[in-house]
Amino acid sequence: MKKIGRNVTDANIQNEFDMSEKLRNLEGDNAYKSRAGRKRHSIQYDRRLSLQPISDRRSSNASSTGESVDSLSSYTGSSSDEDDVNPREKVQKNSKGSADFCVRNIDHAAFGRREIEIAEQEMPGVMALRRRAEADKPLSGAKIIGCTHITAQTAVLIETLAALGASVRWAACNIYSTQNEVAAALAEAGYSIFAWKGESEEDFWWCIDKCINCEGWQPNMILDDGGDATHLMLKRYPAMFNMIKGIVEESVTGVHRLYQLSKGGKLTVPAMNVNDSVTKTKFDNLYSCRESVLDALKRTTDVMFGGKQILICGYGEVGKGCSAALKGLGCSVMVTEIDPICALQACMDGFRVVRLEEAIKSIDILITCTGNKNVVTRSHMDRLKTGCIVCNMGHSNTEIDVGSLRTPDLTWEQVRSQVHHIIWPDGKRIILLAEGRLVNLSCSSVPSFVVSITAATQALALIELYNAPPGRYKQDVYLLPKKMDEYVASLHLPNFDAHLTELSDEQAKYLGLNKTGPFKPNYYRY
């Protein structure tokens, strides 16, 4: 297995993923104040643990608008959003009498089950993996802590891992993306799920802790999205962390955290970086964003795309997908880039490459896709024309400096859930979506088929790490083997009635390949 040799600069690590930053003052944040009676249930986290969740997926500034967390839930909605009682204050049991879960309302399980059944139809790869490996139980004995988005697609993955022999406990990596009915359906099926849409910051960490700290249950695997479960276990339960057999991480942020731990000699278990696997970067980032950016913009603003002036910051896989989709609907698309190679690709694809300052006054929609911080600042937004839509498709909500908009001279007006008018003193207004968080996850849905590709990759990574003989993986970060990437792709080809060509012995020898793959060297760029 080839180890990843990525260089992460000390400056980036210090700025973005500093493990020693202080836990936000929960009592001072109105949006996350505990409701009456919650304190008696609270875990009082030691501030030295610095359990600050990743900023790309949670907002600490909701209080500035004066709205409750529930009012900022996804525009896609949930039929149980009206329930204003904190789930931690409820006594709930499923039909089998188990209370080892915490969801919004267990009574909505039937609705969630139908959502899961719909997702199963669009996740052929994961379902095929379930059928092929169910008899062998490759995860028998695995006890997995999961911290990802809890949606119908995730439920298909959870039930697949269980069918392959694993025992799981699951929390949400995002306080807004949880589908409450799906969480209820999983709890009704006997899974230990701790998540609901609109969690407070305190609730968020409480849910992860409940997954990890369970009497008579010792986790040995982690499936993470953002590194929060890994971080909490390492800081709060270091002895337990050292007994983990492997970590699977699928996000840019979480992978950076793992490289930081590895660089500092603090990563005591092997980890698999599936974020940079081909089946994640190409399909989740490119093809999924190509569809979901349109969905998010339509749902939130009902915008007509034809003829609009669009500026997309960043021309990586996400930027490429967004640009292609918007160009196809008649938009005039411009791109900003720091990388000359990506900039040249944008030019060859027919897009103007400009600086933000050059185009800022004339654009109708501004989309960030860089993964960087302070890409769009207050000075930029001061120059936008009235009615401009501003949103983020990159991984971190630091791309748009939303904090600079929370000043006395600007007025925040909520139009819809996750849609705000920001009004300047002269009457100019811009439309800010999802408060700078990921607009496709906060305001729309992600195609189940693409999630099937990512979920199959995650499942195979868990199987690989769990069953690896001693010594195959050191205490470091690894990429998923290319052979497994190819297997994930092959699981999905029958859905298109696609038939692969087979190499002859002579052809395989000429290319220096095994007839069954892998078919490309590690340095190949798809």
pLDDT beyond 50 at 77: no
Helix axes 228-236, 201-212, angle to 10 degrees: 70
Choose the most confident range, by mean pLDDT, from 165-169, 196-200, 213-217: 165-169
- Summarised one tens digit per residue, pLDDT across range 329-369 is 999 999 999 999 999 999 999 999 999 999 999 999 999 99
pLDDT beyond 70 at 31: no
Which of 467 and 282 is assigned the larger pLDDT?
Answer: 467
pLDDT score of 320:
96
Which of 42 and 327 is assigned the larger pLDDT?
Answer: 327
Q: 5 CB contacts (<8 Å, ≥6 apart)?
A: none
pLDDT score of 62:
35
Q: Which of 7-11, 278-282, 408-412 has the weakest average pLDDT?
A: 7-11
Instruction: Report the distance separating Cα 168 and Cα 190, nearest Å.
Output: 10
Answer whether the bond into residue 521 is a cis peptide, omega within 30°. no
Express as a percent the part of the chain with pLDDT over 70: 84
Domains and CATH numbers, the chain: 94-276+468-496 (3.40.50.1480), 288-443 (3.40.50.720)
Sheet hosting strand 246-249, strand order edge to edge:
192-194, 167-172, 143-148, 221-224, 246-249, 271-273, 477-479
330 annotated ligand-binding residue: no
Six-digit token string for 408: 């006395």
Helices (H) and strands (E) in the chain, counts: 19, 15
280 annotated ligand-binding residue: yes
486 annotated ligand-binding residue: no
Strands 429-433 and 419-423, by their bridges, are antiparallel
pLDDT score of 278:
87
Instruction: Report the distance separating Cα 197 and Cα 176, nearest Å.
Output: 5
pLDDT beyond 70 at 53: no
pLDDT beyond 70 at 40: no
pLDDT beyond 80 at 65: no
**Average predicted confidence (pLDDT) for the chain:** 85
pLDDT score of 189:
97
Q: Which of 77-86, 275-284, 385-394, 395-404 has the weakest average pLDDT?
A: 77-86
Mean per-residue pLDDT, 302-315: 97
Which of 471 and 146 is assigned the larger pLDDT?
Answer: 146
Q: 521 CB contacts (<8 Å, ≥6 apart)?
A: none
pLDDT score of 364:
98
505 annotated ligand-binding residue: no
Express as a percent the part of the chain with pLDDT over 90: 72
pLDDT score of 22:
33
Q: 335 CB contacts (<8 Å, ≥6 apart)?
A: 311, 312, 313, 314, 315, 319, 323, 343, 346, 351, 352, 353, 354
pLDDT score of 346:
98
Alpha helices in 431-478 (DSSP H): 439-443, 448-467
pLDDT beyond 70 at 118: yes
440 annotated ligand-binding residue: yes
Which of 71 and 288 is assigned the larger pLDDT?
Answer: 288
pLDDT score of 397:
78
Mean per-residue pLDDT, 507-522: 90
Please check whether residue 119 is in contact with residue 156, taking contact to mean a CB–CB distance below 8 angstroms: yes
pLDDT beyond 90 at 187: yes
CA dihedral for 40, 198, 185, 44, sign (positive or negative): negative
225 annotated ligand-binding residue: yes
Choose the most confident range, by mean pLDDT, from 175-179, 203-207, 276-280: 203-207
- The beta strands (E) that lie in 369-471 are given as 389-392, 411-416, 419-423, 429-433
pLDDT beyond 60 at 1: no
pLDDT score of 57:
40
pLDDT score of 175:
83
pLDDT score of 285:
86
Instruction: Report the distance separating Cα 257 and Cα 273, nearest Å.
Output: 11
Please check whether residue 429 is in contact with residue 421, taking contact to mean a CB–CB distance below 8 angstroms: yes
316 annotated ligand-binding residue: yes
Bridge partners (DSSP) listed for residue 96: none
476 annotated ligand-binding residue: no
Six-digit token string for 83: 């329930």
Q: Coil, strand, or helix at residue 406?
A: coil
- Going by pLDDT thresholds of 50, 70 and 90, the confidence category of residue 141 is very high
pLDDT score of 50:
40
pLDDT score of 83:
61
pTM of the predicted structure, to 2 decimals: 0.79
Instruction: Report the distance separating Cα 224 and Cα 496, nearest Å.
Output: 30
Q: Which residue has the tokens 């990743």?
A: 54
250 annotated ligand-binding residue: yes
Tell me the C-alpha to C-alpha distance, in Å, between residue 358 and each of 370, 384, 422, 434.
18, 12, 23, 26
